[in-house]
Structure 1
Amino acid sequence: MATKKAAKKKPAAKKAVKKVAKKAAAKKTVKKVAKKAAAKKTVKKAAKKATARKAVKKTAKKAVRKVAKKAAAKKTAKKAVKKTAKKAVRKVAKKAAAKKTAKKAVRKVAKKAAAKKTAKKTAKKAVRKVARKATAKKATARKPAARKASAKKAVKKVAKRKPAVRKKKAAPVALPATPAPLI
């Protein structure tokens, strides 16, 4: 009986060993699969990193190009601005020069006008002087004639008052030696 039991036990033990061995093999395969999966994951991660790096490089290159383009555009814009500024400065300078020449011309005209005014004034003064002289001459010419007339009137008056005096010769009236010419 004991041998039969032992014989019966043996295959059970064998089965148990087989089970254990199967379990161990299964664990190994599981581990292998897990390792492979982990390796795949790491590979994927590395690939992702590489692609990300590539993308970063691309974007960086693009950004650099953009910046370069912007810098070039700025340079051209600056050049254009400088050109326009120079043109504007030239225009302003031309205008200032034109204003200066215009001012000079205006000054010349003003000087001429002032000279004309002074000439007119002097001419007027001269005319006034001449007129004064002429009036003075007329007055001096009239004075002796008036004197003569007044002397005659006086003689007549005296003759009217005193009839005896008429017979007598009238005393000669002192007249100026040379009468002034009438104008």
Structure 2
Amino acid sequence: MKNILLILLTGSLLAACTPKSETTTTTTTTTDATVPDTTADTTLPDTTVDTTDTNEAGVDNPIAEGEGATDNAADPGVDSTLTNDDAATAGEEVDMAVGDGLEGTVADFDGTAQTFTLNENDANYAVTVTPDTVFEGNATTAEEFFGTDRDAADVAVEGEIDEAASTLTANKITLN
């Protein structure tokens, strides 16, 4: 009887050490809720400029930017892009593309008064400088820039544009 009792006791101890399998029940409750769309609209506006010339009946001749292409008078900066094949740096082009400046040729140059007219395709802007105006490119000071006749020179001018008065107060002038 001792043997049987020992066997039963050993069996119960072994049964107590055996891992038990547990059953877990998960209940998922779903609710129908409308979540507002919080994604941002990243669509950029179309800034394409039509640069086709229809001088001949039924024939479109593309005009390269900066070579007689028409400008958008409502937004003079539309042709100040990296595609217009000028000498402005990428940073200058970005500044000008957002409306901070213009590119074109110098006309009505007055070195004594330190003023000139910027001919930017089909628009003209009277450019004035201040003592804080920065000069870059082939002339790095006001004396260098205005010391030589710059009529027909290619320039990029950044500054305050007054489209109503067709004036531009220059913060930076880059002579190409």
Quickly name the TM-score band, shorter chain normalised. under 0.3
Task: Looking at secondary structure, tell me which structure has more helix per residue.
Answer: 1
Structure index of larger Rg:
1
TM-score, length-scaled by structure 2: 0.21
Q: If each structure's strand is expressed as a fraction of its own residues, which one has the higher value?
A: 2
